[in-house]
Amino acid sequence: MRIKVGVTIDASPSDVWRVVEPIERHVEWMKDAESITFTSTMHRGVGARFECLTRVGPLHTNDRFTVTEWEPGRVMGIEHQGAVKGTGRFTLTRRPRGKTRFTWTEELTFPWWMGGPAGALAAKPVLRSVWKRNLRRLQHIIELGVA
């Protein structure tokens, strides 16, 4: 299953990166992320590993992630290694008038006990909605300077 959502933020890529770069703060703008615990000594960059307690409605998982891409101000990529497997990527693209296009792309595979491909199909509109709200929260945090 592939999901791609995005938002244009009235801030430069470096300003957006300052909010996105601290992975432990993703819980501030990701409604579905309840807690993040690092399992590596690194907290930034390729190779950083962490667990995220994720909750969507009544469903919750403790997902494991490894950072696979790290280009400050441009890209953060992760590999999902928990029950749900796949990859995720945040891309920041400079737009006219000092704005940034923030794109979030996920390629996910659900395990059999979550319904496999049928479960992914059912989950896709829910996850898309949750992630769009997450991006609106991120936009709000950055544009109002509450970060």
Is residue 39 a part of any domain in this protein? no
**pTM above 0.85?**
yes
Segment 104-114 mean pLDDT? 94
* The total number of structural domains that make up the chain: 1
User: In terms of residues, how long is the chain?
Assistant: 147
- Report whether pLDDT(60) > 90: no
Residue 79 is assigned to a structural domain of this protein:
yes
Query: Is 75 within the bounds of a domain?
Result: yes
Residue 137 sits in a domain whose CATH number is 3.30.530.20
Question: CA Rg, the chain, in Å?
Answer: 15
Residue of 56 and 93 predicted with greater confidence: 93
**Enclosing domain of residue 129:** 2-30+70-143
The answer to whether the CB of 120 falls within 8 A of the CB of 108 is yes
pLDDT over 90 at 127, yes or no: yes
Residue 107 domain-assigned (yes or no): yes
In a domain, 35, yes or no: no
Question: What is the pLDDT, as a whole number, of residue 146?
Answer: 58
The whole-angstrom separation of Cα 18 and Cα 65 is 20
Confidence of residue 12 (pLDDT cuts 50, 70, 90): very high
Whether 51 is covered by a domain: the verdict is no
- Quick one: DSSP state of residue 143? H
Residue 53 resides in a domain: no
